[in-house]
Amino acid sequence: MNKDSGCSGPATHQSLTVDEARRIILDTVRPAGGWERVALRSALGRVLAEDIVAPCNVPAHDNSAMDGYAVRADDLATDAEARLQVVGTAFAGRGFSGIVGKGQAVRIMTGGVMPLGADTIVVQEVVRTEGERIVVPGGIRRGQNVRRAGEDLAEGAVAIARGKLMGPPELGLAASLGLAEVTVARRLRVAFFSTGDELASIGRPLAPGEVYDSNRYTLHGALNRAGCELVDMGVIPDRQDALETAFRNAAACADVVLTTGGVSVGEADFIRELMQRLGEVSFWKIDIKPGRPMAFGRIGKTWMFGLPGNPVAVMVTYYQFVLDALLKISGLDPLPERPLMSLVCTAPIRKLAGRREYLRGRLYAEDGAWKVRPASTQGSGILRSMSEANCFIVLDENRDDVVAGDSVQVQLFDGLV
């Protein structure tokens, strides 16, 4: 591979660890650029393409965090009750227009603007009324239960930084600033195709020796979740000319091309050779199970990932190598953390040291504690295992057999927000 290509990596055939392969990919890919203005609701799941600087304070005024009374701390004692005259009421959205003088208080509801003169909110639960007056206990802290102007977002400060994924909290934050539109990164265009003479598309009966193409559907789901625009190019047979045309068409229209199958060293495996001829490519044997062979490179400005063919290997390599690359190319910055948690595994696992394994696991609660067990069958062709699972059990390179009761590392499939 050309060293100046921006796609440099170890030579073909070299075996890499998962961490090495991830680092090379993530150090190599660059944000694609491009942006558009969208209505706030449409920004969900998009990457913010410019800093949002707060045009105002949120909240705009000091206001009450509780239902109660707005008082002057100077009127209160630390160890004795105080009697105050109630001179008016402040509601959220309809304030008290006067000034709270010495010995006075204003009834106030949550969100009501702090009346002039008052500096402290006493919650109604601790107050006794005596006709027009209230009795406030001693020991109230000055400034208690007051929400300060700008304490959520301060005017002039960066409220949401460029590169942030717009999720539910960010939609709400932008709305709290009154923003009807935001600038988001252009959606990535990802072209993908399956390769294999044995593959049939859904909707027609299988001929002898055929299997339905499932990889395009798992990728359809995963790429949609990642916010990409999809170019589904169907099934391409194991023929050099057909594959070359597919690669050229994909590279001409997409930011990223994903292929599945044909990337190992069988007689009908042309992907690596083609990628090398059309562009620049690193081909790796990765010390990973499942998903050992993988190609990564580019044709012109288009990034290419040649994933293995086995359905579980496709999903493992997609989530461990491709997803974060897509997010980086989309402009996400920083990339999400991928936490691993240590949990007790309640079944034994056979494991060879020397490679990292991603087993499909199921978290479950038992006796008040969360534990994990491997899915019943683990073959790289058993796609059902992904569906049964809610996490990967990640067994590091230097680990060997797991005994029931051992702690293992777990990577969750789902986040919450």
Site residues (CB under 5 A) for Mg ion?
196, 261-262, 309
Q: How far apart are CA 285 and CA 289, in angstroms?
A: 11
Q: How far is the CB of 264 from Mg ion (least distance, A)?
A: 8
φ, ψ at 249 (rounded to 5°): -65, -40
How many residues bind ligand AMP, per CB under 6 A? Answer: 18
Name which of Mg ion, ligand AMP, none residue 311 binds, using a CB cut-off of 5 to 8 Å depending on partner kind.
Answer: ligand AMP
Beta partners for residue 258, in sequence order = 192, 305
- 211 near ligand AMP, judged by CB under 6 A: yes
- Helix, strand, coil percent values for the chain (each to nearest 5): 20, 35, 45
Q: Is 196 among the residues that bind ligand AMP (CB under 6 A)?
A: yes
Using a 10 angstrom Cβ sphere, with 0-12 exposed, 13-18 middle and 19 or more buried, the burial of residue 381 is middle
Cβ proximity to ligand AMP: between 211 and 404 the closer is 211
Q: Does residue 214 bind ligand AMP (CB under 6 A)?
A: yes
Contacts of 261 (CB under 8 A, 6+ apart): 194, 195, 196, 199, 215, 271, 307, 308, 309
Question: Is residue 173 helix, strand or coil?
Answer: helix
Pick the closer one to ligand AMP by CB: 234 or 405.
234
Cis peptide bond upstream of 290, omega within 30: yes
Q: Considering the complex, what minimum distance in angstroms separates the CB of residue 217 from ligand AMP?
A: 9
Q: How far is the CB of 23 from ligand AMP (least distance, A)?
A: 25
Residue nearer to Mg ion on the CB measure, 213 or 287? 213
Tell me the C-alpha to C-alpha distance, in Å, between residue 305 and each of 244, 296, 325, 413: 15, 5, 10, 22
Of residues 243-262, which lie at the interface with ligand AMP (CB under 6 A)?
A: 260-262
In the shown chain, the binding pattern of residues 294 to 323 toward ligand AMP, with x for contact by CB under 6 A and - for none, equals: --------------xxxx------------
Indicate whether 218 belongs to the interface with ligand AMP (CB under 6 A). Answer: no
Residue 125: Cβ within 10 Å count: 8
Q: Binding residues for ligand AMP, per CB under 6 A? A: 194, 196, 198-199, 211, 213-215, 260-264, 266, 308-311
